[in-house]
Amino acid sequence: MKRKGKMRRIEKLLIDIVGQEHVSSDVSDLVAYERDDQFFLIPPHRPDVVVRPSTKEEIQAILRLANKYRVPVVPLASGINRKGLCIPSKGGIMLDLRRMNRILEINEEMMTATIEPAVSFGQLVNEVRKTGLRVITPWAPSTASVLANYMLRGIYGPATRYGTDHLISIEVVLPNGDLLQTGSLNTPTTNPKPYCNIVNGPDLCKLFQANPGTFGVLTKGTIRLYPMPEVMKPFMVAYPNYESMVKPAIELTIKDVVEACWTMTFTPSSLRTLTKGSHLESVSVQLAEAMGSEDFLTMWLYVAGERERAEKDEEIMRKIVAESGGTILPLPPESEEEMIKDEIWERTSVRGWKKGNLYGCSFYGVMKLAPTYYRVCRKLSFKYGFDEFHYEAVPVAPFHGQLSYNDPCILWDAGDPEQVRKMKKLHREIMKALLRTGIYGWFRPFPGVVDASELGKYGELWIAVKKLIDPNNIMNPGKPPLS
Amino acid sequence: MKLKDYLKELYHCFHCHLCNVGNWHELDEWVSICPTYAYFGFESFSAAGKIEIGRAFIQGKIKKPSSRMLQIIFGDLGCGACHSQCKDLTGLNIDHVEFFEELKTKLVEEGYGPLPKQADYARSIQRNHNPYWEKHEKRTSWLNSRIPKGGKIVYFVGCTSSYRTQEIARATVEILSASGVEFGIMDGEEWCCGSPLLRTGQRKLARDLAKHNLRALKDAGAEKVIFSCAGCYKTFKKDYPKLLGRTLDFEVLHTSEYFWNLIKEKKLRPRREEGIKVTYHDPCHLGRGTGLYDPPRQVLREIFGRYFVEMKRTKENAWCCGAGSGVKAALPDFAIWSATQRLEEAEKTGANILASTCPFCKRNLEDAEKKVKKGMEVRDLSELLSERLT
C-alpha cells in the first residue's frame, strides 16, 4: 500500500514533466513490457508506470525525480526488448524513448550521423542511402535502435571488415539528472563538434558501452558512416566439414578480401525451418536431401568495394576457396538481390524465430576453435532433444587474437513447458561447456549470462564504478554488473 | 479457435515490431503501416502490445479489464496490416485479425466492452437491422427505378450504401442494368451483414443476422450474390461459413471482380478517360481480408490507362483508412487522422481522384477530405465506371 501510494505520487510528478498523454500506469499499458523472449530465464515483471519523454530535459527531470525517490528506471530505446535486458525486474518507471526518434544530422563530409536513441536502422538507412554513405547494420530486425545496438555492441553483417565499434560520442543523462557528453563535444572551444572520441583523456563513451541502461540514459549519439561500395557480391560456399572452412575464413580476413565472412552450420531440420517460404527454400530443399542426416556447412562471403578492387578481391577469394576444397553454390538472382539488401539496407526478416523461439548463447572466441565450440554445443543441443541446431562463427575486425563472434543457435518452442524446462538446464550446460573449452567471454552483459561477481577484480571495479555513478541503483536494477 | 488455445502461440511474438512498418525491401522506403501504434504511440497499441494484453488476459493476470484496455482492444482496426508483415517473417503462427476478434468476443462474453458507440449501433442493428438508427422501411429509399426482388443474381447493397453512400448503390445498379444482367435486390429482406458486430466481439447477434440473410437469399433463389461493400463481402465470404459451420449455397463476388468479368466478356465497354489521374485505396476487408487486389486495378486501368497510378503503400502494405471495426463510431478523431494520412499519400501521387471499393472507406476518406480540404475527389469504383459507360 505504501509503495502504491508512493508510485501514485511519482506518477503525478511524471505527468507534470511530460504531460498526461505520455504517462500511464494502466495495467494494459504495463503488461506490454513485462515479458520478452528470454522469459524462461528472466521472469516476467511489470513496471509500475510507463513514461514517454521526448527531450533530454524531460529525461533529466525524470531521473532527478527517480533518484530522489529511489525509484527504478528502465530505459527502452526502440522497443525490441531482448534477453531480459529491459525487463523491469524491480518495477519502477519504464522509460519508453520511442518519441526520441529524430535524425539530428547526417554529415557526408564528416561521414557521421547524429541521432536520438529511438532511431531505427531502417529509418536511418532510409536517409543515409540518399547520400553516398552507408550505415553498418546488424543481423537484427531493421526496427532495432541504432544507438542501443551500437552501445551494446552488436554483430554486424560486415563485421569481418568493419568490426563492431561504430560509435564516436554520446550524450547521456546520469542517474542524478546531470548531462554528460563524451569526446570532442567537451573541448572548450568555439562550437564544439561531436566527431572525435580520442581527445582530452580517456574515451568515456566506452565506459557506458555494454552497460545495459545501468549507468544512465542515452539522449543522442554520433556514429560512423562508411562509403557505400560500388560493387557488392554475395557468395554461398559449401564445405565438407568445419575445419576446412576455418583456414580460408582466417586467410580471407587477414587479406581483407571480403567484408563479411560468416561460417555457418545447419542441421537438416534447422535448414528447412529457416528457409521455409524464403528465396532460399528451393536451394535448401535440394541441399537437405543431399545432406541426409549430415549438417550443411557453408560460408557466406560478401565481396564489396570499388569495382577494380572488388574484382581483384573476388579473384583472390575464388582461389582461396578452391584451394580449401570449397564449392561456390549457384545463387538464384532473387536470392542474391535479397542477400545484398539484407547486408546494406538491414534485414526485414527474423527467420531465426521461424520455429517460434530462438535460443542463442553468443560469445567471443578464437576463430580456429570454432569447430570445437560447434561440436560441443551441437552435442549438448541434441542431448536435450533439440535437433534444430545452427551455429555461426564470424571473424571480427580487428582480427588480432583471431577474434570471432560465435553463436550456437537453437530453434525451439517456448510455448511448450517441457521444452522450457529443458532449455533452462541446457543453457547452464552450454555456458559451462564453453567456459571449459576456452572462450574470450560473453557477447553482451545479458542477465543470466554475465555475473560480475565471478569476474574477480574486474568485476569488483565494474560494480564500484556502477555504485559511483548510480549510488541509489535506480538504473535498470537487477542487470549486470549488479544482479 | 478458442481464445485460450492461442496462448501457446503467443509466446512466439518476441516484439520485433516489424509489424509496425511496411515491407521496406519491397517498398524501397521505410514507412509506418500500423495506424493505431502510429497515432497512440504506446506499446500497448502496437500488435505486439495487444498480443501481450491478450496473453495476460488469458493467463488471468488481468482479471478486470480497465476502460483503457477496452479502448486499446476495441480500438483495434482489424486492418490486418500487422499480420501481412508478420506472417512470412516470424514464427508467430496466428492470424492477428482473428486473434483480436476472438479476444474482443471473449471480453464481450464476460461483460466487458464493446465501446459505448459500438454497443449503441448494435442496439440499432437489433431494432432496425442497420447500425445507423435508420428505419428499416427506408432501406431502399435510394432506389430510383424498380428492381425485381431476388433471383439468381442478387445485389446485396449493405447498410452504408443503403443509407449513407447511396450513390454507390445507384451506380452499381446502373452498371448491372447496362450490362444486361438480370439481377435483383433483397428489399426489406436484406439485413445488416453483421460485420460491425463481428469486428467488435458481438458475435451472438451477428450469428442471428447471418442466419436470416442466408435464409432470405436461399428463399430468393440466389446463385450468385454481388457486394459493393468490402465489409459485407468479407463477412459473407470468410465469416459466415465459420460462424455457421457450413459452406454457402451461392457464389460470393465483389462488384470489382464482377465488373471486371463483365468487361472481359464485353458486356461492359467503359469509355477511356485521358488526363485524369486516379489512384486506388485498398479496403482492408477486400485486400488483406480476402486477397482481392487485382480486379479493382484492372477496371481502373481499363478506364484510366496510364493515368492510373499507385500510392507507395498498396496491397498487402496498404495503409488503413481508419474506419473499420467500429473505430469510426467509437474513436472518430483517430479515424479521421488515419484517413488524412491516406489522403496525403494519395496527393503525393499527383492524383485528382482517390478511388476505393468500399462505401465505408469512401465515407471516412470523404469526411477527412471535408476537414483537411486537400482537393481530392474520393470516389467509389462503381461511380467512376457508371459515369463512363458507353
Amino acid at the residue B259: F
Question: What is the pairing mode between strands A49-51 and A93-96?
Answer: parallel
Instruction: Give the separation between CA B299 and CA A74, rounded to whole angstroms.
Output: 53
Strand spans (E) along A361-462: 363-366, 389-395, 403-412, 441-442
User: Which chain B positions have a beta carbon within 8 Å of A84's beta carbon?
Assistant: none
Q: Which residue has the higher pLDDT, A419 or B24?
A: A419
- Bridge partners of B309, per DSSP, are B279
With CB atoms and an 8 Å threshold, state whether A79 touches B25.
no
Rg from Cα positions in chain B: 20
For B269-313, write each residue's pLDDT tens digit: 999 999 999 999 999 999 999 999 999 999 999 999 999 999 999
Chain A: nearest CA to B24, how far in angstroms?
7
Nearest chain A residue to B48, by CA: A32
Question: What is the pairing mode between strands B353-356 and B377-380?
Answer: parallel
Instruction: Give the separation between CA A20 and CA A297, rounded to whole angstroms.
Output: 55
- Do residues B291 and B254 lie in contact, with contact meaning Cβ atoms separated by under 8 Å? no
Class in CATH terms, A2-96:
alpha beta
* Residue A132 CB neighbour total at 10 angstroms: 12
Q: Name A26's Cβ contacts closer than 8 Å, sequence gap at least 6.
A: B66, B68, B69
What value does the mean pLDDT take over residues A79-97?
A: 92
* Residue A387 CB neighbour total at 10 angstroms: 15
Task: Please check the confidence at residue A346 and state whether its pLDDT lies above 80.
Answer: no
What value does the mean pLDDT take over residues A202-224?
A: 96
Of B18, B24, B62, the CB nearest to A31: B62
Q: Which residue has the cell 518452442?
A: A413
Burial (Cβ within 10 Å: 0-12, 13-18, ≥19) of residue A2: exposed
Query: Is the CATH number 3.40.50.1860 carried by domain B125-262?
Result: yes
Pick the CATH number of A103-227 from 2.60.34.10, 3.90.226.10, 3.30.465.10, 3.90.950.10: 3.30.465.10
Q: Is A36 on the interface with B (CB under 8 A)?
A: yes
What pLDDT is stored for residue B122 in this prediction?
Answer: 98
| Local confidence band at A39 (pLDDT 50, 70, 90 cut-offs) | confident
With CB atoms and an 8 Å threshold, state whether A143 touches B17.
yes
Distances (CA, A) of B275 to B303, B306, B345, B382: 11, 9, 20, 19
Q: Is B333 on the interface with A (CB under 8 A)?
A: no
What pLDDT is stored for residue A48 in this prediction?
Answer: 97
Task: Please check the confidence at residue A309 and state whether its pLDDT lies above 70.
Answer: yes
User: Which chain B positions have a beta carbon within 8 Å of A345's beta carbon?
Assistant: 24-25
Q: Residue A375: helix, strand or coil by DSSP?
A: helix
From chain A residues 93-132, the ones with a CB under 8 A of any chain B CB are 96, 98-99, 120, 122-123, 125-126
User: Which chain A positions have a beta carbon within 8 Å of B63's beta carbon?
Assistant: none
Instruction: Give the least confident one: A272-281, A371-380, B92-101, B337-346.
Output: A272-281
Q: Is B90 on the interface with A (CB under 8 A)?
A: yes
Q: Is A307 on the interface with B (CB under 8 A)?
A: no
- Do residues B203 and B98 lie in contact, with contact meaning Cβ atoms separated by under 8 Å? no
What pLDDT is stored for residue A448 in this prediction?
Answer: 87
Instruction: Give the separation between CA A388 and CA A386, rounded to whole angstroms.
Output: 6
Q: Name B7's Cβ contacts closer than 8 Å, sequence gap at least 6.
A: A415, B55, B58, B59
Of B9, B62, B89, the CB nearest to A415: B9
DSSP secondary structure string for all residues of B69-109: HHHHHHT-----HHHHHHHHHSS--S-HHHHHHHHHHHHHH
Of B53, B89, B91, the CB nearest to A31: B53
Question: What is the pairing mode between strands A73-76 and A93-96?
Answer: parallel
What pLDDT is stored for residue B221 in this prediction?
Answer: 96
Task: Please check the confidence at residue B13 and state whether its pLDDT lies above 70.
Answer: yes
Instruction: Give the separation between CA B172 and CA A71, rounded to whole angstroms.
Output: 63
Burial (Cβ within 10 Å: 0-12, 13-18, ≥19) of residue A147: buried
Query: What number does CATH give the domain A231-442?
Result: 3.40.462.10
Distances (CA, A) of B253 to B3, B250, B290: 31, 10, 11
What pLDDT is stored for residue B88 in this prediction?
Answer: 86
Instruction: Give the separation between CA B15 and CA A83, rounded to whole angstroms.
Output: 12
- Do residues A394 and A407 lie in contact, with contact meaning Cβ atoms separated by under 8 Å? no
What pLDDT is stored for residue B244 in this prediction?
Answer: 95
| Local confidence band at A282 (pLDDT 50, 70, 90 cut-offs) | confident
- Do residues A362 and A443 lie in contact, with contact meaning Cβ atoms separated by under 8 Å? yes
Instruction: Give the separation between CA A85 and CA A211, rounded to whole angstroms.
Output: 10
- Do residues A55 and A441 lie in contact, with contact meaning Cβ atoms separated by under 8 Å? no
What is the tally of helices (H) and strands (E) in chain A? 15, 20
Grid cell at residue B366 = 470523404
What value does the mean pLDDT take over residues A134-141?
A: 93
CA-CA-CA-CA dihedral for B174, B176, B180, B181, to nearest 10:
-150
Instruction: Give the separation between CA A346 and CA B124, rounded to whole angstroms.
Output: 50
What pLDDT is stored for residue A164 in this prediction?
Answer: 96
DSSP secondary structure string for all residues of B318-341: PPP-S-TTTHHHH-HHHHHHHHHH
With CB atoms and an 8 Å threshold, state whether A28 touches B21.
no
Grid cell at residue A212 = 545495459
Nearest chain B residue to A25, by CA: B68
Instruction: Give the separation between CA B204 and CA A482, rounded to whole angstroms.
Output: 54
With CB atoms and an 8 Å threshold, state whether B15 touches A36.
yes
Q: Is B8 on the interface with A (CB under 8 A)?
A: yes
Amino acid at the residue A88: P
Domain boundaries, chain B: 3-109, 125-262, 270-386
**Vertex A171, ends A167 and A175: CA angle to 5°?**
120
Query: Is the CATH number 3.40.50 carried by domain B270-386?
Result: yes
Report which of B52, B33, B32 is spatially closest to residue B44, judged by C-alpha positions.
B52
User: Which chain A positions have a beta carbon within 8 Å of B65's beta carbon?
Assistant: 28
Report which of B93, B103, B95, B83 is spatially closest to residue B33, judged by C-alpha positions.
B83
H/E segment holding residue B356: strand B353-356
Q: Residue A49: helix, strand or coil by DSSP?
A: strand
Instruction: Give the separation between CA A119 and CA A124, rounded to whole angstroms.
Output: 7
Amino acid at the residue B240: Y
| Local confidence band at A1 (pLDDT 50, 70, 90 cut-offs) | low
User: Which chain A positions have a beta carbon within 8 Å of B53's beta carbon?
Assistant: 28, 31-32
- Bridge partners of B226, per DSSP, are B155, B253
Average pLDDT, chain A: 94
Q: Which residue has the higher pLDDT, A278 or B118?
A: B118
For B232-245, write each residue's pLDDT tens digit: 999 999 999 999 99
Query: Is the CATH number 3.30.70 carried by domain B3-109?
Result: no
Instruction: Tell me phi and psi for residue A194, to 5 degrees.
Output: -95, 15
Chain B: nearest CA to A276, how far in angstroms?
9
Distances (CA, A) of B81 to A435, B238, B285, B325: 45, 18, 11, 14
Q: Is B20 on the interface with A (CB under 8 A)?
A: yes
Instruction: Give the separation between CA B362 and CA B354, rounded to whole angstroms.
Output: 9
Q: Do domains B3-109 and B270-386 have the same CATH topology?
A: no
Task: Please check the confidence at residue B70 and state whether its pLDDT lies above 60.
Answer: yes
Task: Please check the confidence at residue A283 and state whether its pLDDT lies above 90.
Answer: no
With CB atoms and an 8 Å threshold, state whether A356 touches B61.
no
For B346-375, write each residue's pLDDT tens digit: 999 999 999 999 999 999 999 999 999 999
With CB atoms and an 8 Å threshold, state whether B24 touches A348.
yes
Task: Please check the confidence at residue B209 and state whether its pLDDT lies above 70.
Answer: yes
For B151-195, write each residue's pLDDT tens digit: 999 999 999 999 999 999 999 999 999 999 999 999 999 999 999
With CB atoms and an 8 Å threshold, state whether B69 touches A351.
no
Residue of A25, A27, A28 for testing the chain B interface, max B β-carbons within 10 Å? A28
Of A28, A120, A356, the CB nearest to B44: A28
With CB atoms and an 8 Å threshold, state whether A415 touches B29.
no
For A417-475, write each residue's pLDDT tens digit: 999 999 999 999 999 999 999 999 999 999 889 999 999 999 999 999 999 999 999 99
Q: Residue B211: helix, strand or coil by DSSP?
A: helix
